[in-house]
Amino acid sequence: MPTQQYYVYMMTGRSGVFYTGMTNHIVRRVVEHREGQCEFTAKYRLNRLVYLDSTSDVRQAIAFEKRLKRWPRAKKIALIKRSNPRFLDLAETVLGLPPLISRTDVPPEQTLRRGDPDAPLRRRSG
C-alpha cells in the first residue's frame, strides 16, 4: 500500500499576498484555489503555486504549516527563492496542470522592488 503524502504549499498572485496551506491532495487543492473556491485566495486572486514540500507524516506537515504561517514575509520569500527563485507556477512545472487561462499576472520579477532582487513583494494599495 502506497504511503499517504501530505503537502505544505504557498500560493501567491499579482497582489503579492501569500497563502500557506496543507493538504493530502495537492492537485485538487490547487485547482480549487485557481477556480476561486477558497474565500481568501479568491479575494486576493492567489492562483500561482510558488512553494511545495511534502512528507508522509501528517503531524510534521501540520506543524510546518503552522510554523510557516508565523514567519515574517521576508523569511517566506527567502524559502521560496531557495527552490523556486523565479517564482514560477509549480502547478504547471511540477504538477503538470495546464497554464492559467488568464495571463494577467505580472511576472514575479516585476513585483519585486526595482534594483533589489531580494526585496519583498510590493503590496497593492487601496
pLDDT tens column, 86-98: 999 999 988 888 9
Helix (H) or strand (E) holding 52: strand 48-55
Residue 16 lies in a domain: yes
Evaluate whether residue 17 is within a structural domain.
yes
- For residue 33, being part of any structural domain is answered with yes
Residue 82 lies in a domain: yes
> Domain of 97?
6-110
Total of domains in the chain: 1
Q: Which pTM value belongs to this model?
A: 0.78
Whether 65 is covered by a domain: the verdict is yes
Nearest in space to 7 (alpha carbons), one of 28, 32, 36, 34: 28
User: Does some domain include residue 105?
Assistant: yes
- 126 found inside a domain: no
pLDDT in tens, 14-36: 889 999 999 999 999 999 999 99
93: domain CATH number is 3.40.1440.10
